[in-house]
Structure 1
């Protein structure tokens, strides 16, 4: 099935797969959490609170889907998927802090610094990030140390100054500044896209694949990540707090430049649709079934939260 032939079926397929992933991941995420035996219990409680709050589990889904595409065992993929979700959750905890986006609501419940306190929120984010690297370095993730090293190196790049952290700094510095389309695209590639690219490329790394299929899955992830961020920005304007699970309108209030603010709603939506078409085209090199990745691309531009 081509994702564009039956949009409603594609949405149902993607939602069912994401729900299945969410169940798998909650078990994995809680299983890998450290077991406290003293006063450090509070930070683990905050980590657990943030992890079980829900969310689409889009990034873990991409890890699992790419691993299947490259014939990787699910046990290895689940390890990497957990590491990714720990790092993503860390970023949300820190993004919500008063010194960053200053949000009181995340996934429909009080943010970690509101439920606990700011110091605990900082430490919970730090602990999740370091735990993510511990998991990637574990022999349970892959027997080959070279594969583990490559995972760690690519993950670090996706999260560091050329990825998520750099993108967040770029975002903060860009408030109330006029940015052109190229600058906004670069910001979004760093802040959101880099980790999504790692999620898709992780399957190729685990499978020791270095041919054109690896470049293709990177291309898919690159375009998907940009489309995902445009839809996020559209939802910030058009969504409501009940659907989003967070406070809408924060970007406009902060004076943040987005492709929606630059292009307008209609042109931005057209751009997202074009990016999804490009993303799906990258999948043509695979001889395995890619319907679920095609369906996910459709889901990304039709989602309500």
Structure 2
């Protein structure tokens, strides 16, 4: 695995298992986001406050965790992985702000508290999302994220593609299109591979980019991420069907109320759950070439379909 001797050791996996590791990574990423988004004085301070409200307001931080764990496979320094993970989380939080707007899903709850457009107003929420999206690329392009400009450029290009019209934005467009209610299983899979899966793919590929991994290692992580992303969305559909707003910290049943096609709607609860388990098995098999060093990534795949929020 390339350049591991030239690098300082990354943050080790926490010995207590996945939950402790997730908690430790989440705390580290939240702390870094706090430093990267310092409060500002004057009129622009309001939009920074809204950015901080969205970015520091909780969540599992699964995407930064995946960046850090895939980077650890190649002995990437922990601070570099955290910076890439924080940049990705900024993009994710921007997408949630915009997704919750009245023009999109019109949600009033996120992580158990009022959504950004209710805590502030719609204009400020839009600007806060814009601010988080653009700030993410400031973080990725900084030499502290990686000393090599070509590595930073690769990260920037990959995240831009994952977030744009060929990725998350394209998926969101399909989601709000008139055709959304009549999608078949292939159409739903395409939608979710863009809307949800694109950022998860970047999360796993970013660790390989930071570690200057070989093509085979990089492709194995992309394949893992593609399985994981679909399993994640099926689990989300199941939670939307079976859980409560109090347990999830966000509204439930919105897709069904709007007549949107979902994995659960197409397959039924039991077959959807079986499909998610199959995807987890496939995702874990993609990691065989990394041996025991990828154990937390395997556990993360199991967590994705067993989580309750």
TM-score (norm: length of structure 2):
0.93
Match for residue 248 of structure 1?
252
User: Offset at 1:287?
Assistant: 4.0
Match for residue 20 of structure 1?
24
Which residue of 32, 35, 38 maps to 2:36?
Answer: 32
**Maintained 8 Å contact 1:175/1:255:** no
Higher normalized contact order (CA 8 Å, seq sep 6+, divided by chain length): 1
Match for residue 172 of structure 1?
176
After superposition, give the CA deviation of every residue in 1:249-283 in whole Å (9 maximum; x if it has no partner). 01101111111111111111100000000000000
**Maintained 8 Å contact 1:59/1:196:** yes
**Maintained 8 Å contact 2:223/2:286:** yes
User: Offset at 1:211?
Assistant: 2.8
Q: Is 1:106 aligned to 2:114, yes or no?
A: no
User: Offset at 1:209?
Assistant: 1.2
Give the Cα separation in 1 of the matches to 2:53 and 2:240. 24
Match for residue 285 of structure 1?
289
* Count of residue pairs the alignment pairs up: 294
Give the Cα separation in 2 of the matches to 1:91 and 1:211. 30
Match for residue 203 of structure 1?
207
Q: Is 1:234 aligned to 2:235, yes or no?
A: no
Q: Could you say what secondary structure the match of 2:293 adopts?
A: coil
**Maintained 8 Å contact 1:69/1:288:** no
Give the Cα separation in 2 of the matches to 1:95 and 1:211. 34
User: Offset at 1:14?
Assistant: 2.1
User: Offset at 1:38?
Assistant: 1.7
Which residue of 57, 61, 69 maps to 2:61?
Answer: 57
Q: Could you say what secondary structure the match of 1:217 adopts?
A: helix
Give the Cα separation in 2 of the matches to 1:36 and 1:51. 15
Q: Could you say what secondary structure the match of 1:60 adopts?
A: helix
After superposition, give the CA deviation of every residue in 1:5-42 in whole Å (9 maximum; x if it has no partner). xxxxxxx8222211111111111001001442321000
Give the Cα separation in 1 of the matches to 2:292 and 2:147. 25
Q: Is 1:127 aligned to 2:139, yes or no?
A: no
Give the Cα separation in 1 of the matches to 2:104 and 2:215. 40
Where structure 2 has 5 or more consecutive residues not aligned to the other structure, the ranges are 1-15
Match for residue 9 of structure 1?
none
**Maintained 8 Å contact 1:273/1:301:** yes
Give the Cα separation in 2 of the matches to 1:248 and 1:207. 39
User: Offset at 1:208?
Assistant: 1.1
Q: Is 1:81 aligned to 2:69, yes or no?
A: no
User: Offset at 1:177?
Assistant: 2.8
Give the Cα separation in 2 of the matches to 1:252 and 1:191. 18
Moved segments of 4+, more than 2 Å: 174-177
Where structure 1 has 5 or more consecutive residues not aligned to the other structure, the ranges are 1-11
User: Offset at 1:174?
Assistant: 5.0
User: Offset at 1:289?
Assistant: 1.4
TM-score (norm: length of structure 1):
0.94
**Maintained 8 Å contact 1:105/1:111:** yes
My pick for the range that moved more, 167-176 or 50-59, is 167-176
My pick for the range that moved more, 36-45 or 103-112, is 36-45
Q: Could you say what secondary structure the match of 1:290 adopts?
A: helix
CA RMSD for the aligned pairs?
A: 1.2
Give the Cα separation in 1 of the matches to 2:152 and 2:180. 41
